[in-house]
Structure 1
Amino acid sequence: MNVIKCHIVEDEPLAAELLTDYIEQIPFLKLHGISVTAIEASLVLNKIDIQLLFLDLHLPGMKGFDFIKGLYNPPKVIVTSAYPQYALEGYDLNIVDYLVKPIKFERFFRAVNKLQIHTSPEFNKKVVYFHENRRNVPVEEDDIYFIEAQGNYIKVYLKNSMISCKTTLKKTILNISDSKFLRIHKSFVISCSKIESFNKNYVTVLNRELPIGRFYKNSVNDAINRIFR
């Protein structure tokens, strides 16, 4: 997997700390450092091949957009700002994305996934993040066997492990690929590629018989027929 070397340009310590934490959770990002002014950042860019800047707009001495305009060959830029009204100006400068503070991890993740500088097949595999024990755990979709809902929690079953996190199955479905997963019950979503066997009442995944809900029988039957025909 290619790794993007990134740099934060931010004069607010708490904002820089949050971005640092988010970056550390993304496998394809590597943080080079933090600058608190545009001048400091320009010195870094003159010495280091930085591929991505997380850039605040209101910096001491020089505004963020003026900094971008002054660069001969700027890296990719994701703007982080408390002022949404400047977003259009940013996109005119060909920024990757414009993140409005306070920035949630899900929004940050969508922004970094817009980067087009990765072309390797490994990078193109979709990664889903599950929040467990105060950390966002990255999981490739292809590694998921099935997901089970239990009250206000879900359990994500992998080949040799399981992840438990506080969220709903409904929200989780929005973050996974429709073409790869199939809902068979109000409490179960399965990976289509991990089906081991099936009948009219059950689907076997990871050596476990999962029930097909009455409401889902017709749609599950149609989907399985398409998969195995």
Structure 2
Amino acid sequence: MIKAIAIDDEILALKIIETFASKMDGISLEKTFHKQSDAEKYLRKFPVDLIFLDIQMPNKNGLDFYKDLSQDIKVIFTTAFSEYAVDAFDVNAIDYLVKPFSFDRFQKAVEKLSLKSSNELQPQHLLIRADYKLHKIEFEDIILIEGLDDYIQIHLKNAPKITARSSMKNILVKLPEKDFIRVHRSYILPVKAIKGIVNKNIHLEDFIIPVGETYKDDLKKIIGYY
């Protein structure tokens, strides 16, 4: 199921997207927003797969809003202006819908994402925005991920740490479930990096990480003992 939100300063435009999405299987329109700031707050807490995004908006151009997002989310632009199409595809938009668009055109745009997702192999990397650019991080290069309030810090092999605005919940869903585990409210680890557990502490190559009480059962399921 594709989880989506829609952002548009026109209430009617949001109603149309709601109506079209409700007619389709495989997509759940979780919420709609007419203010970008409200959408941004929502995305920090709740991960989604897709944004339907207007470009011409009062406070910030939709393209700039999308470029500034810290999360790796697909986008379908919905706009009355055709002149932004090239810019939209420069940021790898799934599609570009010019208002007024039909249900058939909307459906084809969403199906592009479904087709893309089904044809892609399991990714071996994490894409995350930090320091005003998109970072591609190989899963195998991650030593651990540390939660710091509204930010995360990704510790890497032979590379500087990357600090990005994200929640631990949002980053965990982007990682392969069998390869990474959350062991504490502040720590996510690669399973294969665990050397052993001594006195409720996980020993890695260069770190000793405490095990949170909430996560003991999950750890036992993954590694077979605790």
TM range (shorter): 0.5 to 0.7
Map Cα deviations across residues 89-144 of structure 1 (whole Å, 9 max, x no partner): 565699623xxxxxxxxxxxxx795373x7xxxx6443221111111211122322
Q: Which residue of 2 aligns with 1:79?
A: 95
Report the AA paired with residue 128 of structure 1: L
Root-mean-square deviation (Å):
3.3
- Decide whether aligned partners of structure 1 residues 93 and 165 sit closer, same or farther in structure 2, where only a CA change above 3 A counts: closer
Q: Which residue of 1 aligns with 2:198?
A: 199
- Decide whether aligned partners of structure 1 residues 90 and 13 sit closer, same or farther in structure 2, where only a CA change above 3 A counts: closer
Count of residue pairs the alignment pairs up? 146
On the 8 A contact 1:125/1:140 being kept in 2, the answer is: no
- Decide whether aligned partners of structure 1 residues 215 and 128 sit closer, same or farther in structure 2, where only a CA change above 3 A counts: same
Mapped partners of 2:115, 2:133: distance in 1: 18
Could you tell me which of 114, 117, 121 is aligned with 1:114?
117
Structure 1: segments with no counterpart, 5+ residues: 1-9, 24-53, 55-77, 98-110
On the 8 A contact 2:97/2:106 being kept in 1, the answer is: no
Mapped partners of 1:160, 1:143: distance in 2: 8
Mapped partners of 1:194, 1:167: distance in 2: 23
On the 8 A contact 1:194/1:206 being kept in 2, the answer is: yes
Deviation of the 1:81 alpha carbon: 0.9
Q: Which residue of 2 aligns with 1:130?
A: 128
Report the AA paired with residue 86 of structure 2: A
Q: Which residue of 2 aligns with 1:213?
A: 212
- Over the matched positions of the two proteins, sequence identity in percent amounts to 17
Report the AA paired with residue 186 of structure 2: S
Q: Which residue of 1 aligns with 2:155?
A: 157
On the 8 A contact 1:159/1:206 being kept in 2, the answer is: no
Name which one, 1 or 2, has greater alpha-carbon Rg: 1
- Aligned pairs for 1:37-186 (under 5 A) are 78-83=94-99, 86-89=102-105, 96-97=112-113, 113-114=116-117, 116=119, 124-161=122-159, 162-186=161-185
Deviation of the 1:212 alpha carbon: 0.5
SS of residue paired to 2:136: strand
Q: Which residue of 2 aligns with 1:189?
A: 188
Q: Which residue of 2 aligns with 1:49?
A: none
Deviation of the 1:82 alpha carbon: 4.6
- Decide whether aligned partners of structure 1 residues 13 and 192 sit closer, same or farther in structure 2, where only a CA change above 3 A counts: same
Q: Which residue of 2 aligns with 1:36?
A: none
Deviation of the 1:206 alpha carbon: 3.9
Deviation of the 1:181 alpha carbon: 0.9
Map Cα deviations across residues 36-95 of structure 1 (whole Å, 9 max, x no partner): xxxxxxxxxxxxxxxxxx7xxxxxxxxxxxxxxxxxxxxxxx531155963545656996
* TM-score normalised over the length of structure 1: 0.52
Mapped partners of 2:136, 2:109: distance in 1: 31
Deviation of the 1:208 alpha carbon: 0.4
Mapped partners of 1:165, 1:189: distance in 2: 15
